[in-house]
Structure 1
């Protein structure tokens, strides 16, 4: 039986002194005979211009790949690389900052394709269990890659590991000054939506720093709709003292 699909998103600025640096895409789009759900969280750093650029251009770059329908994973990897190249070429305009990204494309309500760089995360709930589809790209996990390109990972007491003592993620768009030591290669996962899958969450690390995947799916299991679920998820993260900018998208499949 075809699922009824609804979606909602919510964003809250954190306690930092800078402006909100997160951007979100949450929409459905008809492409030929296919209905695509396009969902993304872009968590910017050192300015919001790179995240803003991604919001406008990344899905366009993905969907214009000739082999999107036949070799989706390869198309996504190529589009991520091409978009990062564009951002680096425009560094004078976009600035020195960067952005993490997690994207999810839901094809005809049947197939979910997730890609990510950084630490924003995609989680689904299947038969009540939380399943993470993205990969957290932490500097400590990718130390060998970073060091092989001449970089280093700092481990200062009281701080998180950072690439060259600066960035707390090992993969991101932009960050031209760190690019020699930083990858923009996404991890890609493809998941078929079965009868037991009823929820998709995309969220920035402001949620995942204070909540486990299972905490997140459990906390909204009684929410009446996707929008109220997204709002409740952020309220819960704030009650647990999250101080970051927080963005989340909830997709309900009923």
Structure 2
């Protein structure tokens, strides 16, 4: 993710990345190889399938995107758990989120009675933990978009930052998430003592550094950032074909309806996710591009 300004990247960090890239080359580890795969719900009645495809960008830093795509059985329910975490200033925070955020959500005592409250509480407590352990997890941060499918019938989506979830409903794109851009939250940021700047040829940034107004982590900017997610519930019915979760590496170069139109005829969700990332690359997106397609009634 190119969320942090170039000025915030240290010389030591560049040297470290150069050394790591040399080591990868020496051992024939191709870090730019795509991460791709697919799966489906174990329950024949739920009929949910997914595919994912992640490609490292060409912005001069190592891959900072992580994803989750799995199914779990809990209290006689089947949960589809999907997420994309788009990191900045290193990959420690998104890697932590990959391994812990859903556990934190599902461990909330009120998850089954009030999923929205559980998701909000888990986002807050997870951010608090990241900040309290910044010496180990580093100074960076991450956006997030998460989706929980319960028994193939209910969809709970949450996000902070500009990773996005778009639902295909009767062939039309319905954005389920909110892009948390600095300009749209300028009043809150300024009230908290921060500022938003836009340099020529650049995008609005919090304190001249971060290009999103909400994120996990980012200790140095936390006084002016929020980790409060937008949460959305959708009852899944026969009018809904699929959901696209993707990082801004896709959405920077593609409109919601364009993405839906591009893959609505592709039944294999992995092929659909790959088609979207391939098109984003063709449109010269240089950021990391991460995409999950979740199909209903596959």
The count of residues paired between Structure 1 and Structure 2 equals 254
Partner Cα distance (1:65, 1:143) in 2: 32
Q: Structure 1 residue 216 and structure 2 residue 259: aligned?
A: yes
SS of the equivalent of 1:145 reads: helix
> Which residue does the alignment assign to 1:48?
91
Name structure 2 gaps, 5 residues minimum: 1-43
Q: 1:98 aligns with which of 141, 144, 168?
A: 141
Query: Stretches of 4+ moved more than 4 A in 1?
Result: none
> Which residue does the alignment assign to 1:70?
113
Matches within 5 A, 1:238-253: 238-253=281-296
> Which residue does the alignment assign to 1:237?
280
Q: Structure 1 residue 200 and structure 2 residue 238: aligned?
A: no
SS of the equivalent of 1:179 reads: helix
SS of the equivalent of 1:241 reads: coil
Partner Cα distance (1:214, 1:252) in 2: 17
Deviations 1:15-42 (A, max 9, x none): 0211100000001111121000000000
State TM-score, norm by structure 1: 0.98
State TM-score, norm by structure 2: 0.84
Matches within 5 A, 1:159-198: 159-198=202-241
SS of the equivalent of 1:252 reads: strand
> Which residue does the alignment assign to 1:26?
69
SS of the equivalent of 2:202 reads: coil
Deviations 1:59-102 (A, max 9, x none): 00000001001111111100000000010011001111000000
Higher relative contact order (CA 8 A, sep 6+): 1
Residue 4 of structure 1 deviates from its aligned partner by 2.1
SS of the equivalent of 2:71 reads: strand
SS of the equivalent of 2:245 reads: strand
Deviations 1:120-158 (A, max 9, x none): 001110110110111000000000010001000001111
When Rg is computed on C-alpha atoms for both structures, the one with the higher figure is: 2
> Which residue does the alignment assign to 1:155?
198
